[in-house]
A and B are shown apart, each in its own frame.
Chain A
Amino acid sequence: MTVTVKFWSYFKDHTECAETSLELPAGATLGEAHAVVIAQFPVLGDMQSSTLKAVGVNYQPDEFLLSDDDEISLFPPVQGG
């Protein structure tokens, strides 16, 4: 299956792109997708523990089962206000 990964805030600077796409086996989890992203962009590994992860417009845990065409967002802690 194919999923899109969007980067926000300074993650875009680190990856030098706003988004990428991943080919993942059926049944892949959000945590597994995150690991693939870190393999592709090792600089994000330093921020792995503080990275917030969403699918669509909802936060999801690493165990979340992805579906074809899901849109993942990875970003640093939020700072509104």
Chain B
Amino acid sequence: MKTQLTLTPDPIDEPALIAEREMSDGMGAALIFHGVVRAQEGEATIAAIDYEVFDDMACHQFELIFEEIDRQWPIESVRVVHRVGVVPVNEPSLWLELIAPHRAEAFQACQFLINEMKQRVPIWKRPVVLLA
């Protein structure tokens, strides 16, 4: 399984990512997921989220998740982009792409990846609150 992980302070350039896609003839599903910053964080209206990441451990934990996906599903490739630093409301902080023969395994692996990421990848968020 091919994997690509990017942790970046830059906005996610989806057209560029899609232009770089590699997908073999036997693949029938290309699943893309955006995790987008919401304006509400609990009771507060926020302007952005400031993401902090422990880079080395995050990369290692993502690799462990990728290995588990490779064992469980026939995924051809996984690409993950997670932003770090300040991400404004309505912008994606997370971009995932999974290429698989069929949709079922793509959706299952996508859910697994996000669930595992939220359990073990050391990324934290701090809301940036709007000033009155």
Our pick among A58, A73, A79 for the contact of B54 (Cβ within 8 Å) is A73
A58 near B60 with CB under 8 A, answer: yes
A73 near B94 with CB under 8 A, answer: no
Count class of interface residues, chain A: 10 to 19
Task: Count CB-based A-B contacts (< 8 Å).
Answer: 56
In the complex, B122 has a CB within 8 A of chain A: yes
> Residue of B at shortest CB range from A75?
B122
In the complex, A20 has a CB within 8 A of chain B: no
Over the window 65-81 of chain A, the binary record of Cβ atoms lying under 8 Å from chain B Cβ atoms (1 yes, 0 no) is: 00000000101101111
Determine chain B's interface SS by DSSP, over half rule. Answer: mixed
> Residue of A at shortest CB range from B59?
A57
Q: For B94, what are the chain A residues with a Cβ–Cβ distance below 8 Å? A: 80-81
In the complex, B61 has a CB within 8 A of chain A: yes
Our pick among B57, B119, B120, B125 for the contact of A73 (Cβ within 8 Å) is B57
> Residue of A at shortest CB range from B114?
A81
User: Which residues of B line the A interface, CB within 8 A?
Assistant: 35, 51-52, 54, 56-61, 82, 93-94, 114, 117-126
User: Which residues of A line the B interface, CB within 8 A?
Assistant: 8-10, 52, 54, 56-59, 73, 75-76, 78-81
